[in-house]
Amino acid sequence: MIIQILIIVLAVLIVVSIMMQQGKGSDLGLPLAAVALILYLDP
């Protein structure tokens, strides 16, 4: 389970970094990361 969480965190960070390079990450990155973590940590 820990490995899956780490993979999801890395994937979210990659997506956020890509969006920030496109200038869209500042508004969307943190909410998407929070939602992804909440959905994945919720059993």
Contact 37, 8 (CB under 8 A): yes
Domain residues of the chain, as ranges?
2-41
* Torsions phi, psi for 24 (to 5 deg): -115, 0
DSSP category for residue 23 = T
pTM: 0.48
pLDDT value for 24: 60
pLDDT value for 27: 63
pLDDT in tens, 7-33: 888 887 887 777 777 766 556 666 777
pLDDT value for 25: 52
C-alpha to C-alpha distance for 41 and 24, rounded to whole angstroms? 26
pLDDT value for 39: 78
Residue of 3 and 33 predicted with greater confidence:
3
